[in-house]
Amino acid sequence: MTKKVYTFKLRDDAKWSNGDPVTAQDYVYSWQRAVDPSTAATYSYLFDGLVLNASEIIKGEKKPSELGIKAVDDNTLEVTLVQPAAYFDSLLAFPTFFPLNQKFVESKGDKYALDSDSILYNGPFKLTDWNGTGKTWAFVPNDKYYDKDKVKLDKINVQVVQDPGTNVNLYNTNKLDKALLSAEYAAQNKNKDDYKVEEESSVFYIKFNQERNGKKTPLANKNIRKALALAVDKQSYVDTVLQNGSIPANGLVPKKFTFDPKDNKDYRDEVGDVGVYNLDEAKKAWTQGLKELGVTSLNLEFTSDDTENAKKSSEFLQNQWEKNLSGLKVSLKNVPFKIRLANDQKQDYDFSLSAWGPDYQDPSTFLNLFRTGNAQNRMSYSNAAYDKIIDQAAGPLAGDTQARWDEMLKAEPILIEEDYAIQPLYQRAKAFLQQPYVKDLQKKCVWSRLYVQNNVY
């Protein structure tokens, strides 16, 4: 059983990079600021229904000071949840739950965190040389860090290189220690000793929008969704378009991400494959869907980002759909990421390529996305049975770790094989070149890579 009240003891030697001590009040201020409606924090929803009174505060019905968090003393923090949450410990590693130095934040006003000089740090490194929009920045050791003697790196330089060929050239001339590879360069370098593949827990999937601009789309028809979902050869996609170690995703929750509390079995293995490529079934569903709509052909618009990889992905998918489903014409709309998100929020699209990376280590970080009314469910999907599973896991079963897990195993088959609301496409990996003198660089399944301060050279 998990619990509702947590007490945390802070290190008494933890300091901010300006020398101020890190205190329990820093957490109180940070969390209250995150749920305050006037802050309009993007991730305030992570507190909603989790920390006591967060929901009411976000709605403006209670004051931020009533949030279920308090500083017992400078080094003791107490948090009260609405109900037990099995993933709470993992969630604390998400940046929105990090502490903030109130004096510093308020001194910066609306300039806070807009560049590296307007941020305060308490970890082993400090961000530097970042102007807020630039393509280069660096990390340098934080001399106020409590364990600074174990920090071996003098500096970590980062630069954004948009051209894949330039990236490889910089690496080959010893100007980069690690270089991300596009599909073309991954294929060229895969047999080299310094070629590496980094598995991730991000899943890319196709969203089928059932209502656009107030009117039902052809994708409101389940057979049309089923046909589009099953007509794409995922293995061919990752082998020919990505070529970077990414794998087909036959499920929304990724592999090697979260495990049964009873026997440590992978969620992916326990649920099994859902949404598997099946061209015969796709064609049958397509024929039936057109019949139900009373048409013999369809024109649909597929939206994705405007990067080279996204364009190649869109072209592959377009070819699969038009080749495999007679009478289908797919027009491509490749737009900048921000525009795609804006169109998604307005539900101004037919179907699109989307993705999600976990906020914390629990199946719910993926499954919650498609509950009725979720901010990410901008496609008019709703299923009462699916919602009940999500609500049971978040409510009555929250304190029973095993029962909650078993309940969440029921969700994907409804979402993906009963309703074909989405179609998982691939679980991302990244291919890169890494100089042999770079060692012990670890990757975590949630969020980004971790530079272990006393093991990276």
Name the β-bridge partners of 303. Answer: 333, 352
> Which pLDDT value is given to residue 308?
84
pLDDT digits (tens, 9 = 90+) for 223-270: 999 999 999 999 999 999 999 999 999 999 999 999 999 999 999 999
Name the pLDDT band for 454 (thresholds 50, 70, 90). Answer: low
pLDDT digits (tens, 9 = 90+) for 63-75: 999 999 999 999 9
Number of other CB atoms surrounding residue 339 within 10 Å: 14
Average pLDDT over residues 384-399: 94
pLDDT digits (tens, 9 = 90+) for 300-334: 999 999 988 899 999 999 999 999 999 999 999 99
User: In Å, how far from its chain's centre is CA 399?
Assistant: 25
Q: Which CATH superfamily is domain 137-198+431-450 in?
A: Periplasmic binding protein-like II (3.40.190.10)
pLDDT digits (tens, 9 = 90+) for 167-223: 999 999 999 999 999 999 999 999 999 999 999 999 999 999 999 999 999 999 999
Where along the chain do its domains lie? Answer: 5-112, 137-198+431-450, 200-429
> Does pLDDT of 451 surpass 70?
no
**Contact of 385 with 414, CB cutoff 8 Å:** yes
Q: Is 182 exposed, middle or buried (0-12, 13-18, 19+ CB in 10 A)?
A: buried
> Which pLDDT value is given to residue 443?
74
Name the pLDDT band for 439 (thresholds 50, 70, 90). Answer: confident
Positive/negative CA dihedral, 237, 240, 241, 244: positive
Average pLDDT, the chain: 94
pLDDT digits (tens, 9 = 90+) for 48-64: 989 999 999 999 999 99
Q: Is 146 exposed, middle or buried (0-12, 13-18, 19+ CB in 10 A)?
A: middle
The type of residue at 87 is Y
What lies within 8 Å, CB to CB, of 155 at 6+ separation is 138, 139, 140
Could you tell me the fold of the domain covering 200-429? Dipeptide-binding Protein; domain 3 (3.10.105)
**Contact of 298 with 330, CB cutoff 8 Å:** no
Could you tell me the fold of the domain covering 5-112? Dipeptide-binding Protein; domain 1 (3.90.76)
**Contact of 137 with 158, CB cutoff 8 Å:** yes
Higher pLDDT: 325 or 373? It is 325
pTM more than 0.75: yes
Degrees, nearest 5: CA angle 153-154-160: 85
Task: Give the chain's end-to-end CA distance (angstroms, integer).
Answer: 42
Number of residues written out for the chain: 457
Name the β-bridge partners of 195. Answer: 433
| Sequence-ordered alpha helix ranges (H) in 351-400 | 364-367, 384-394
Name the pLDDT band for 448 (thresholds 50, 70, 90). Answer: low
